[in-house]
Structure 1
Amino acid sequence: MAEAWEVRKNDGVARVKSIFIYPIKSCKPISVQHASISPTGFVWDRHWMVINSKGRGCTQRVEPRLALIQVDLPLEAFSPAWQPNHSSYLVVRAPGMPELKVSLAKPSLLSQGVSVWEWSGSALDEGHEAAQWFTDFLGKPSRLVRFNEESETRPTDPAYATGFNVKFTDAFQFLLISQASLDAVNEQLEEPVNINRFRPNIFVDGCESFAEDLWKQIIINESKFDGVMLCPRCKVPSINQEDATQGNEPTATMMKFRSAKVLKVDTTTTQYKGRVYLGQMLVCEDDSNSWGKIISVGDVIHVEKVFPSYADVAV
C-alpha cells in the first residue's frame, strides 16, 4: 500500500452534522448533540445486542423487524463521567408492544457462548422480562445481552487495525459518511433514501461527495481518527427503516457507480467481492488522551492525511 501523503484542510468547511449512537445493535439510533469517546467507540454504542437461542447476535440481515425498535437513554447518560444508578433505565419501545425498561445497573446473570461474527465469549444477561419482550416481538426465542466490559475484550481485525477494541459493532469503532455522498447516491435513485439506511456514527457536511473515502487521518476536537477501511454494504441499506420492508434499492443502483470494480479498489484478498461501498470506517487513537473527550455537532473536521487514490484504500 502506498504511503499516505499529508494535506492540511483547517479552513473549517467540513463539520460534524449529526452524531448517531446505536445502544442495541441493529435497532434504531439515538441522535445526540455530543458523545463521549471510549476505548471501544462512542459510549453506549452497540452496548447491547439481541441474541437467538444459540447465542448468536441478531441483526437486521436476518431479523429486519429490529429496525422498528426504538431505544432511549437518560439525556445525562451522554455527559462525561456520568454513572448510572438503580433508577436509570434503557427504555425500549416497538409497535404493538408494551414499554420495556431495562435497568442500567449491572445485571447479575451471565449468558455464555454469545457470538458475533468471529468473536465469542460471555455477556451480561438482562433477564427474563427483556428476553420475553424480544421473544414476543421477533416471534422466536431471543434474549437481550450487554457487553461484559469487565471480563471480555473484542479486538478489531488486525489486518486493518491493530491494538483497537470494539463491543458489538460489526467491525470497527466508528462509521463516517458525508451528506454530499448521500446526496450523490440519492441523485441516482427514483426514490431518495434517508441516512438511517446506512447507519453512520458520524454524519458530516461541507465536503465534496465521497471525499471521506480517501480520508486516512482526521482530527475532531483534538481526537485523532484513522480511516481503516471503506465500508462494504450488506443488505441492511435495502431495508426500509420505517416499516422493515426490504427491496433492491439503493444497492442495485449503487452497483453501477459504487462497486469495487467501478471504484478500482483491490479485492483480490478480501471477502467483500460483489459489494457496494459507502462510508469510511474509523478507529480513534489515544495519542492525546482521547478517552472521555467529547465530539459535538458543529465540530470541525480537520483532514490531516489522505490516500492518493482508491487503489491505496483498504477494503
Structure 2
Amino acid sequence: MSSAAGLGSFSAPGWLPRSRLGWLCASGAVLALGVAAAWRWRRAGRAERLLVRVGTVTGLSIYPLKSCQGVPVKRAEVTELGLRDGDMRDRFWLVIKEDGHMVTARQEPRLVLVSVACENGHLILKAPEMKDLILPVQLSEKNAVKDCRIFGLDIQGRDCGDDVARWFTTFLNSEPYRLVHFETQMNPRKCNQIEKPFRATDKVPYSDCGPLLVISEASLEDLNTRLEKKVTMRNFRPSITVSGCSAYEEDSWDKIIIGDVELKGAMACGRCILTTVDPDTGIIDRKEPLETLKSYRMCDPALKDLYKSAPLFGNFFGVDKIGTIEVGEPVYKIIEH
C-alpha cells in the first residue's frame, strides 16, 4: 500500500479504532507516515538545489569606522549587519558634523589614513603625526545619543566624547567633528529604503547600502590592465574578495554559500569619487580609476534610474543565513531547479 493510500484509509469517514491498542497502532502509523513524507520532501528539496563551485575566499575585511582603513581578518562572523570579529564590527563607528550629518572620505579624504584596531574592549585609532587614541567600545550611558543622517535616512549613534571629537578635528584640520558609535539596541537602516533591489530584511548601520560587498580578484586584474597607475582592493573596500573565477563573474551570482553562510545578491555597487582617494596618501584624484570604469562598466540603459551615472564594480549581498567564514573556503553558487 502506498503512503497516500494508507493516509486515505485512515481518514475515511466513520473509521474508528475498536480498542486502545488499535488506536495507538493507528496513531503510530500516521505519525510514521508523516515523518517519512517530511523526510522525503526535505530530501527532494536538497536534490533540487545544485551547488557549483565558483571560487575561493582570498580576503575578508572589516571597516569598523566608516571611510577609515579596513582590518583584514582570517575568519569572521557573518551577521545580518555585516562582518564581525569580536568587538570589531563593520561600520559601527561614524564621523559626523555637529548637526549629525555623516562625514566620509568623499569630504575628508585623509580619513583613509586613520587605522583602527580593537583590543581588550577598546577601540584604538592611529593617524600620521597624531598620538594614539584609545576609547572604550562600551560607552557610558551618560554619553548623549545623537540623531545622525546618512544619505537622507535617520539613524542614531552614541557620542564618543569630547577628546575623540578634538582628535578628529585636529587631524583633519576641519570644522568641529564628532564620533558616534552604533549600538545593537538602536534601529539600523533598512536597505530597501536606500536602494529598491534590497529586501525588507536587509539592514545596515552606517554602511552605504548593503551588509556585504563581494569583488573578485579577476575583476581588479582586468581593470588594472586598462590603467596607467594600478589600484588595489583598498580603493574599493570589499568585505569579501574571491579568486578562481573570471572577471566580473560575481555580477551573475544570485545566491552563494561560503561555509555555513548563505548570501543573496542584491545589486551591483555603483562607484563614486571615494575610489579615487589614494589609500596611501589620502589625496583625492577625482578621476581614476573612476573615469576608466565609466568607459566600459556602465549599466544597462534600462537600469539608469537605479545606477544613474555611476560605473559598476563589485556586488552587494544580503544575508540569508548567518554563520562564520574563513579565508581559503570555497564559494559555491546555488542553482535552484
Smaller-chain TM-score range? 0.7 to 0.9
Aligned match for 2:332, one of 284, 302, 305: 302
Once the two structures are overlaid, the 10-residue window that deviates more, 104-113 or 45-54, is: 104-113
Secondary structure of residue in 2 paired with 1:274: coil
Tell me whether 1:201 sits opposite 2:239 in the alignment: yes
Aligned match for 1:154, one of 182, 189, 210: 189
Q: CA RMSD of the aligned region, Å?
A: 1.7
Give the TM-score of the pair, scaled to structure 2. 0.79
Tell me whether 1:228 sits opposite 2:273 in the alignment: no
Question: What CA deviation, in whole Å up to 9, does each residue of 1:8-55 have, x standing for no partner?
Answer: 4534x5110000000000000000001112221112000100111211
Find the structure with the greater CA-based Rg: 2
Segments of 5+ residues of structure 2 without an aligned counterpart are 1-47
1:218/1:305 contact within 8 Å kept: no
Segments of 5+ residues of structure 1 without an aligned counterpart are 1-5, 75-86, 307-315
Tell me whether 1:106 sits opposite 2:110 in the alignment: no
Equivalent residue runs for 1:98-247 within 5 Å: 98-108=131-141, 109-139=143-173, 140-157=175-192, 159-160=196-197, 161-247=199-285
Shift of residue 305, structure 1, vs aligned partner: 4.2
Secondary structure of residue in 2 paired with 1:14: strand
Letter in 1 for 2:296: F
Secondary structure of residue in 2 paired with 1:65: helix
> Residue 80 of structure 1 aligns with which residue?
none
Letter in 1 for 2:226: Q
2:51/2:335 contact within 8 Å kept: no
Secondary structure of residue in 2 paired with 1:96: coil
> Residue 31 of structure 1 aligns with which residue?
72
2:146/2:180 contact within 8 Å kept: no
Secondary structure of residue in 2 paired with 1:131: helix
Give the TM-score of the pair, scaled to structure 1. 0.84
Shift of residue 251, structure 1, vs aligned partner: 1.0
Letter in 2 for 1:269: D
Secondary structure of residue in 2 paired with 1:67: helix
Letter in 1 for 2:115: Q
Higher RCO, Cα 8 Å, sep 6+: 1
Question: What CA deviation, in whole Å up to 9, does each residue of 1:137-191 have, x standing for no partner?
Answer: 1122011100132132321125222212111100010000000000000011111
Letter in 1 for 2:320: E
Instruction: Count residues with an aligned counterpart.
Output: 279
Letter in 1 for 2:102: G
Secondary structure of residue in 2 paired with 1:169: coil
Structure with the bigger percentage of helix? 2
Question: What CA deviation, in whole Å up to 9, does each residue of 1:38-86 have, x standing for no partner?
Answer: 2211120001001112111111111111011011113xxxxxxxxxxxx
Equivalent residue runs for 1:271-286 within 5 Å: 272-286=307-321
> Residue 253 of structure 1 aligns with which residue?
292
Aligned match for 1:267, one of 296, 303, 325: 303
> Residue 52 of structure 2 aligns with which residue?
10
1:107/1:126 contact within 8 Å kept: no
